[in-house]
Amino acid sequence: MIDSFDGFVAIDWSGAAGKSYRGIAVAECAPGTGAPNLIQPPDARHPWTRTQVLDWLDWRIGQGSRLLVGIDCAFSLPFDTAASYFQHGAGTVFDLWELVEKVCEADPDLFGGAFPRHPAHASGYWIGGPKPENLTLGRRRTEDACRADGLGSPESPYKLIGAKQVGKGALAGMRLLRALRLRRDDVAVWPFERIDGRSVLVEIYPRLFLMCTGWGLRKVRTWADLNDCLALLGSDPVDISLPVPTDHDTDALVSAAGLRRLCADPPVWSPDGLDERARSQEGWIFGVGAPR
């Protein structure tokens, strides 16, 4: 059984280019049944930047609370492809993060755009235009397991085209995780590290929490819709007067409540399929593979 947490943070993430991103939202809830709250960016006139999220996480964890933090991005790449970046295919996820940082260090605000443009790494990516006939986009075991569990259809981290592409977010997320671990020794990234009473960062897929509630593939279009989902996750309703929630707001709020709901279930931390490759190289989506 995992020790209790003092708070649950969910981050709807963005790997987009630019200086700030309306695709980022941050929500937090406390233990119990209280409604999750949206965390506002440092400057309310502007959306979050990725560096601001890094700084906020550093500050928030530094307040002494033990947090479970879920970030909506792939923490790694499929190693059927990524293993080729390393001699004898022996790299770990931490080696991958170092490689991504080395290639992308000139990109501002944790952007990962240089990596798929690099000639040594570009061949696995679908960057634009029709999909090449000879290109098979790699998927990690956890993405296949999520589909098999009926919890949604996460895209390959090698997809960089279309509205549902997740590759840029994954690369930016790897830079964030690397930077936070350099700042703090009281955080662990699951499932790659021993938890040992530290704050824990996990990969999340917001649709999974909606599927778990029985909401299915429908959009959460109103605050009333959101509160219906929260009730199914054992949460009190939010009381927000904004006229229409964004998809990013609802993803973050549902995910914070979902983390709180799932984290006390031991099989979530040792799901079927969590093999050595997942533990050392590819990672795992929190909640996939656990009995329902």
pLDDT per residue as tens digits for the range 233-262: 999 999 877 778 899 999 999 999 999 999
pLDDT per residue as tens digits for the range 48-75: 999 999 999 999 999 999 999 999 999 9
Select from 207, 199, 209, 184 the least CA-distant residue to 268.
209
**pLDDT in the model for residue 184:** 98
**pLDDT in the model for residue 21:** 80
pLDDT per residue as tens digits for the range 141-159: 999 999 999 999 999 999 9
**pLDDT in the model for residue 3:** 66
**pLDDT in the model for residue 1:** 45
**pLDDT in the model for residue 88:** 79
User: pTM value?
Assistant: 0.96
**pLDDT in the model for residue 118:** 95
